[in-house]
Structure 1
Amino acid sequence: MGNELTVFKDQDFWNEKQLAALQQMGVSGASNADLAVFLHECQRTGLDPFLHQIYMINRKGKQNIQVGIDGLRLVARRAVDRTGETLSIKEEAWCGKDGKWKEFWAEDEPPLAAKVVLQRGRGMFPAIALYKEYAACKANGQLTGMWKKRPAGQLMKCAEALAIRMAFPQDLSGLHSDEEMDQADSPQDDDVVDAEVVDDSREGAATKAQRQAISGLLRKAGVKSPDLAASVLSSMTQRNVKGTADLLYYEAETFLSSRDLFVQRARQTLAQDTQPASPESKPATKKEGGDDAR
């Protein structure tokens, strides 16, 4: 049975035993195209869905591929083993209302943020996860699952996932950890920087969860109107975009794979768009009977 479930690099599609096992594990409503994409991600990352390292989850009618934090760590470890680099976590800390970072969290209330600094070779990759951006809640506002039991631990996993993805963009682009995606099932406010309404059934369109996450990042970058959002997104996608509603799935995934970088680029683009135009310099004119006439 173990060999029948092994995912090989050269297999073209899931075999019958694998499909049966995926269905038993909760994969439902997936088309052959969805399953083919999932197989590609399993082969690309080397993660095993039958060891719960990578998942495909049906969320609001769309298939989403997620990885466990152990899966992210495994991909990172394999990558540095290939290159001969070192990999270590240099700093882990939580921040409370007093604005001070603590290496140990013993408070009854959840922290406001968690920070991880990952070192890959000589490179340092700091990441900060904000509680308000990741905590998952029910419709009544109550925290769900592990966010209720151990919010500090969940938030630290989000920060670690961000740092790992920043350090290994080629290996992990577009993949998010379970803890990062918990909030995708939480009730969300409408996009305040998006004036468009989109049909979620559009082929290749960004999902509602993606659009809401990007809207939050735009607000964080200081984008406060639909017009500015359209201008920033058009600049970043290199095409005419009216708002988050026009984003494609792969574009949204690329932006969300490096959230800090997206915010930084959005701020730079916003600064350029809102910079007042310099007054046009008037050409110098010689007075009649100028120097030549002296």
Structure 2
Amino acid sequence: MARPSKPIAATDQPRIPMPAVDPALNLTPSTWKVLTDSIFPAAKTAEGIVLALHYCAARNLDVMKRPVHVVSMYSKAIGREVETVWPGIAEVQTTAARTGQWAGLDAPRFGPVCERSFVGRVRRDGSWQDLELTVSFPEWCEVTVYRLVGGQRCPFTEPVFWLEAYARLGGSYSELPTDMWVKRPRGQLMKCAKAASLRAAFPEEATYTAEEMEGKVIEADAALPAQVTTPVVSVVATPSETATDKRQTPIAGASEPAAAPTSAPDAASLDAAMRQRIDKVIARAADNAAWKQAEQYLRERCTGADLAYALAALSRAQGTTPPETDTEQKQAA
């Protein structure tokens, strides 16, 4: 006679309660606990984990090797975050290897190292906080992947730029990088470059990866990620940069200047945090003679009295006449 199973102790309960699932998945309570607590610790819902199970079953993958990741993405269609399943870079390489035509890859090549400051607001402990991060990162990376085509070993290379690929805190409406992209700027970019080249070599097999989709928005065509326009603090050439490898990060066009009063307000009348942020931008511009970039940045992020103060302070730092605001330009016309 089989012994009745003992109830699971409260301390052994999984992080997310186990739902009713398809019996074909052969899911047990102990396996579910491993999935919730070890394999997919970032998953927020049972539905996300079940999606990953079905994906692995359909692709004949061992879910315990974590070939896929549960990624939270903001959906514009429903106005909230949803959990999606994307393969990791290891799964994409596995898929390429299974074709029997993958012929290896080269070591990654990185562009010059840039250092840039990012500013934005993040929600922490139930309140919004202003945050500024300075990150050093390679401007671009490329990894050459080889595939046998008609018996010939053919190279496929897709360069990927850090500013276009990095994951943002808060999705496309923020320019702050996520913690992983701050800690591993080269490693994360290398994964994205490898994935892009694998897609070029195996378009019928490879897809986008979790590393590429983190921090992105569903229906991205309707909400393209904002281009970062903060001034570059420094650029250091790396050994991998050669005359034929030089690339430049695309610079987004400046948005239309925001309206502002014709006279600069007194600094004491402004919000202290905003004034401090403006002063930091101007200080960085002075250190690097990046006046045009600073003006563009301030026009995109300041309005009204804040913009008038920013433009006046910028002109004082340059020792020039303050640039015209929209109001002044219209009056002159």
TM-score normalized with structure 1 length: 0.47
The structure where strand makes up a greater share of residues is 2
Which of structures 1 and 2 has the larger relative contact order (alpha carbons within 8 angstroms, sep 6+)? 2
The structure where helix makes up a greater share of residues is 1
